[in-house]
């Protein structure tokens, strides 16, 4: 994978295939293999132990929810003859009062909660990033107008307004995701604007402007690759925020509705049975924490990996 | 600075109008508040339904309804509720009074926790304390507030049954019995009911702030003027406290104000778990019964709080940081 051409330390940071990068330059005392920015980021991430463990756990949870949900002997709707049974080999997470297998329920709930939070992260990131970048890049009245609209959305208490809007969604999972993302993009737009505002003043942007580069070239060739790190980190963290918001919404009764289920809804229905059937309450809760926690750690690892000031793993 | 404050206040008026209008239209379109009345068995006479429709202004178009509502606010009229005997204006302020106790106390506790943990973490970067604090920070950052609140409630109940006495209050914001038994008894009773919800809300909110405080403290600790103070021979702790901390606290004011919205959301969830009759229950009930004027009253007060706190934070920022001047 790594190119065998020896070159100067680190290579070019901002434009990996810039023609000015001295390929095959005279050997120096410390010769290092040339690596692209993406390879550097990837290697730094691999060395982040906590983030790697989290990634493995997260992948296991995803496999558990989707593959497990497909092969497990009970479906989320199947009613077994055992009701209110504690965890056993037959029902690893026990059963509820009706006889639903909680193992299958948690799998289904994890699927729905994951789908909603990933969709929230994607929608909010796409809208927020475009919104904030346009504001930060063009500034002037466009900036003022776009950011006033963001501020307007930010004054709305998110969970409350999401409850109002999601009340009409009828529990359709992607509508719930749209509602949450429709309120959360404003936060992303602020971050994106900040990143773009600081980037556009950098010398390399000025240099390409001086060379006569078009707006599109500057945006796609220079701004986007440099902002990508911040955007990807944000996207990751948003998944964990998304799952906490979705579960809170479902807990309050405005999210996913009964024929289907989500982790928040499972906790909500189990809250009166914490004492008598604790397995119904603790398993879905632990899954919410595990998903949010692993994603936060992955995001943290990515943040370190994308940090250009990070010098720990250069060679 | 006065001009800046006035301008910001003026901008917030249209923001309040637009946001309340958007929610007004959404709630009004979402469901028919008359449907419980219509589907009542035996069905009420059409005349009753018609009277109710007129009482709730449903005979007017939405724009007119909104106009009546917003102009009514200035004369203290918050509009008719679905519950005919409910005075929304009176009720919503009483409910927010209850909720404000929880929010203010939880925010104070969370801020103290965040500053202490953040500062020690930064001063002893990569120490055992730092790693432990980081882990718990991430854990509480990933903790669903409602789940943690239920766990705390359950712990409270278990301790109560183990001791055989009421040590922790797990239901409501105050006891019925305590009212009318002297100020201090009532005060103690209210405080007792606050303990578990406050712990719950504070712990699920402090984490982001403490991470932020750690980062801003690290930045200041690595700055030249701190190095100079140390080089001059000042004790480490004095430098940390008097030189670094003062500046490192400044960014936290803005972040705290920005997070008020999510604290409000956390309070709604926490109140639900501990069965408080606060603003949260008021809002949730309003949404469920399509009580548009109740939801609007809640939103108006909540959004006003958020805007005011952000304004105060911005002004404070200017006072604390002499480099920032508002023109």
Residue A159 lies in a domain: yes
pLDDT band at A288; cut points 50, 70, 90: very high
Can you give the C-alpha Rg of chain A in angstroms? 24
What secondary structure letter does DSSP report for A79?
B
Tell me whether residues B15 and A151 touch, CB distance under 8 A: yes
Residue from A151, A153, A159, A253 to probe the interface with B (highest B Cβ count within 10 Å): A159
Tell me whether residues A159 and B31 touch, CB distance under 8 A: no
Mean pLDDT estimate for chain B: 85
Residues of B in contact with A168 (CB under 8 A): 26, 30-31
Interchain CB contact of A145 with B (< 8 Å): no
Interchain CB contact of A105 with B (< 8 Å): no
The residue with greater pLDDT, A273 or B196, is B196
The pLDDT of residue A30 is 62
Range of weakest confidence among A236-245, B37-46, B213-222: B37-46
| Cα–Cα distance for residue pair A175/A170, rounded to 1 Å | 9
Question: pLDDT tens digit string along A21-74?
Answer: 455 555 555 666 777 777 888 888 888 888 889 999 999 999 988 888 778 777
Question: pLDDT tens digit string along A239-285?
Answer: 999 999 989 988 888 888 877 888 888 888 888 777 778 888 888 89
Question: pLDDT tens digit string along B275-287?
Answer: 888 888 999 988 8
The pLDDT of residue A26 is 54
Residue from B132, B140, B146 to probe the interface with A (highest A Cβ count within 10 Å): B146
| Cα–Cα distance for residue pair A46/A51, rounded to 1 Å | 8
Interchain CB contact of A61 with B (< 8 Å): no
Are the beta carbons of A180 and A162 closer than 8 angstroms? yes
Which whole number is the average pLDDT over B42-49? 77
The pLDDT of residue A293 is 92
The pLDDT of residue A264 is 87
Residue from B28, B142, B201 to probe the interface with A (highest A Cβ count within 10 Å): B142
pLDDT band at A118; cut points 50, 70, 90: very high
Residue A249 lies in a domain: yes
The burial class, CB within 10 Å (0-12 / 13-18 / 19+), for B110 is buried
Q: Which helix (H) or strand (E) holds A6?
A: strand A6-7
Tell me whether residues B303 and A156 touch, CB distance under 8 A: yes
Which whole number is the average pLDDT over B183-195? 80
Tell me whether residues A156 and B144 touch, CB distance under 8 A: no
Interchain CB contact of A251 with B (< 8 Å): yes
| Range of the structural domain that residue A302 is part of | 41-72+103-306
Tell me whether residues B299 and A285 touch, CB distance under 8 A: no
Residue A84 lies in a domain: no
Q: What is the pTM (predicted TM-score) of this model?
A: 0.84
Which whole number is the average pLDDT over B299-310? 87
C-alpha angle A152-A154-A157 in degrees, rounded to nearest 5: 115
The pLDDT of residue A28 is 56
Q: Which of A225-229, B74-78, B130-134, B310-314 has the highest mean pLDDT?
A: B130-134
Residues of B in contact with A248 (CB under 8 A): 144-146, 265, 269
Q: With pLDDT > 70 as the criterion, what percentage of chain A qualifies?
A: 87
Are the beta carbons of A194 and B304 closer than 8 angstroms? no
Interchain CB contact of A155 with B (< 8 Å): yes
- Tell me the CB-side half-sphere exposure of residue A260, using CA atoms within 13 A: 16
Mean pLDDT estimate for chain A: 80
Residues of A in contact with B268 (CB under 8 A): 159-160, 252
Which whole number is the average pLDDT over B102-124? 92
The pLDDT of residue A311 is 52
The residue with greater pLDDT, A312 or B49, is B49
The residue with greater pLDDT, B183 or B157, is B157
Range of weakest confidence among B135-144, B177-186, B311-320: B177-186
Residues of A in contact with B307 (CB under 8 A): 155
Tell me whether residues B302 and A157 touch, CB distance under 8 A: yes
Q: How far are the Cα atoms of A282, B109, B114, B121, B299 from residue B212, in angstroms, in the given order?
A: 30, 16, 9, 11, 28
| Cα–Cα distance for residue pair A44/B195, rounded to 1 Å | 44
pLDDT band at A12; cut points 50, 70, 90: very low
The residue with greater pLDDT, B17 or A24, is B17
What CATH number is given to the structural domain containing A173?
A: 1.10.3720.10
A161 closest CB neighbour out of B23, B147, B273:
B23
Regarding beta strands A6-7 and A32-33, do their DSSP bridges make them parallel or antiparallel, or are they unpaired?
Answer: antiparallel
Residue A283 lies in a domain: yes
| Cα–Cα distance for residue pair A73/A88, rounded to 1 Å | 14
3-class secondary-structure state, position B80: strand
Residue A136 lies in a domain: yes
Judged against a pLDDT cut of 80, whether residue B67 lies above it is answered with yes
Range of weakest confidence among A70-79, A304-313, B316-325: A304-313
Q: How far are the Cα atoms of B104, B201, B252, B266 from residue B101, in angstroms, in the given order?
A: 6, 12, 22, 14
Interchain CB contact of A248 with B (< 8 Å): yes
Interchain CB contact of A76 with B (< 8 Å): no
Residues of B in contact with A254 (CB under 8 A): 287
Q: What is the distance, to the nearest Å, from the Cα of residue B103 to the centroid of all Cα atoms in its chain? A: 5
Judged against a pLDDT cut of 70, whether residue B60 lies above it is answered with yes
Write the DSSP assignment of A249-310 as a string of letters. HHHHTSSS-TTS--HHHHHHHHGGGTTT-HHHHHHHHHHHHHHHHHHHHHHHHHHHHH-TT-
Judged against a pLDDT cut of 60, whether residue A7 lies above it is answered with no
Q: With pLDDT > 90 as the criterion, what percentage of chain A qualifies?
A: 15
Which whole number is the average pLDDT over A77-86? 74
Judged against a pLDDT cut of 60, whether residue B327 lies above it is answered with no
Residue from A106, A113, A149, A156 to probe the interface with B (highest B Cβ count within 10 Å): A156
pLDDT band at A309; cut points 50, 70, 90: low
Q: Which residues are bridge partners to A32 per DSSP?
A: A7
Tell me whether residues A160 and B265 touch, CB distance under 8 A: yes
Judged against a pLDDT cut of 90, whether residue A82 lies above it is answered with no
Are the beta carbons of A305 and A50 closer than 8 angstroms? no
| Cα–Cα distance for residue pair B287/B184, rounded to 1 Å | 36
Judged against a pLDDT cut of 50, whether residue A18 lies above it is answered with no
The pLDDT of residue A77 is 76
Tokens 């729905």: give the residue: A112
Are the beta carbons of B324 and B317 closer than 8 angstroms? yes
- If you count residue pairs, one on A and one on B, with CB atoms under 8 Å apart, how many are there? 126
Residue A160 lies in a domain: yes
Residue A5 lies in a domain: no
The pLDDT of residue B179 is 55
The residue with greater pLDDT, A243 or B310, is A243
A293 closest CB neighbour out of B23, B138, B145:
B138
Range of weakest confidence among A158-162, A165-169, B253-257: A165-169
| Cα–Cα distance for residue pair B49/B38, rounded to 1 Å | 7
The residue with greater pLDDT, A170 or A314, is A170
The pLDDT of residue A32 is 67
Q: With pLDDT > 70 as the criterion, what percentage of chain B qualifies?
A: 97
The residue with greater pLDDT, A306 or B177, is A306
Write the DSSP assignment of A11-64 as a string of letters. --SS-TT-TTS-TTPPP-SS-EE---HHHHHHHHHHT-HHHHHHHHHHHHHHHI
Residue A29 lies in a domain: no
Q: How many folded domains does chain A comprise?
A: 1
């Amino acid at each position: 994978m790594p190119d065998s051409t020896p070159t100067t330390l680190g290579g070019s940071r901002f434009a990996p295939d810039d023609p000015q990068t001295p390929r095959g330059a005279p050997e120096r005392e410390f010769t290092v293999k040339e690596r692209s920015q993406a390879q550097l980021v990837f290697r730094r991430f691999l060395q982040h132990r906590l983030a790697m463990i989290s990634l493995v756990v997260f992948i296991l949870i995803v496999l558990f929810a989707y593959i497990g949900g497909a092969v497990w002997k009970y479906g989320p709707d199947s009613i077994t003859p055992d009701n209110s049974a504690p965890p056993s080999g037959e029902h690893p997470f026990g059963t509820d009062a009706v006889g639903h297998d909680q193992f299958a329920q948690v799998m289904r709930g994890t699927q729905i909660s994951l789908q909603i939070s990933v969709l929230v992260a994607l929608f909010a990131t796409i809208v927020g990033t475009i919104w904030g970048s346009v504001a930060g890049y063009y500034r002037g009245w466009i900036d003022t107008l776009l950011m006033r609209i963001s501020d307007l959305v930010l004054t709305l208490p998110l969970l409350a307004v999401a409850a109002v809007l999601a009340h009409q969604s009828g529990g359709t999972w992607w509508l719930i995701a749209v509602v949450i993302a429709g309120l959360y993009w404003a936060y992303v737009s602020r971050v994106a604007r900040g990143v773009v505002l600081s980037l556009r003043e950098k010398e390399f942007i000025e240099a390409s402007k001086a060379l006569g580069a078009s707006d599109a070239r500057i945006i796609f060739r220079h701004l986007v690759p440099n902002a990508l790190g911040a955007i990807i980190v944000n996207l990751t963290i948003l998944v964990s925020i998304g799952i906490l918001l979705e579960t809170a919404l479902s807990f309050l009764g405005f999210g996913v509705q009964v024929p289907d289920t989500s982790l928040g809804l499972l906790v909500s229905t189990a809250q009166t049975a914490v004492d008598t059937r604790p397995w119904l309450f603790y398993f879905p809760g632990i899954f919410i924490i595990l998903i949010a926690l692993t994603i936060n750690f992955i995001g943290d690892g990515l943040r370190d990996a994308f940090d250009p000031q990070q010098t720990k793993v250069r060679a | 600075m006065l001009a800046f404050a006035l301008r910001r206040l003026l901008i917030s008026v249209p923001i309040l109008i637009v946001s309340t209008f958007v929610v007004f239209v959404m709630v009004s379109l979402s469901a028919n508040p008359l449907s419980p009345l219509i589907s009542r068995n035996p069905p009420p006479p059409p005349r009753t339904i018609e009277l109710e429709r007129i009482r709730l202004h449903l005979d007017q178009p939405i724009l007119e309804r909104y106009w009546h509502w917003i102009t009514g606010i200035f004369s203290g009229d918050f509009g008719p509720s679905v519950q005919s005997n409910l005075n929304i204006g009176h009720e919503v302020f009483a409910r927010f009074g209850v909720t404000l106790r929880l929010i203010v106390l939880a925010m104070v506790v969370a801020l103290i926790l965040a500053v202490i943990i953040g500062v020690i973490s930064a001063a002893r970067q990569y120490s055992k304390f730092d790693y432990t604090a980081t882990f718990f920070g991430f854990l509480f950052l990933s903790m669903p507030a409602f789940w943690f609140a239920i766990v705390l409630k359950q712990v409270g109940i278990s301790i109560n049954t183990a001791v055989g006495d009421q040590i922790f209050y797990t239901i409501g914001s105050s006891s019925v019995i305590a009212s009318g038994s002297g100020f201090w008894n009532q005060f103690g009773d209210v405080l007792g009911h606050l303990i578990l919800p406050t712990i719950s809300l504070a712990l699920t909110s402090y984490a982001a702030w403490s991470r932020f405080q750690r980062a801003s403290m690290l930045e200041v600790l690595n700055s030249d003027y701190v190095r100079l103070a140390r080089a001059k021979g000042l004790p480490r702790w004095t430098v940390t406290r008097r030189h670094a901390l003062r500046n490192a606290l400044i960014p936290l004011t803005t972040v705290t104000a920005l997070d008020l919205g999510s604290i409000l959301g956390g309070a709604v969830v926490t109140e639900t778990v501990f069965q408080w009759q606060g603003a949260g229950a008021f809002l949730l009930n309003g949404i469920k019964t399509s009580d548009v004027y109740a939801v609007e009253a809640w939103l108006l007060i909540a959004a006003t709080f958020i805007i005011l706190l952000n304004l105060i934070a911005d002004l404070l920022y200017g006072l604390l940081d002499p480099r920032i001047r508002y023109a």
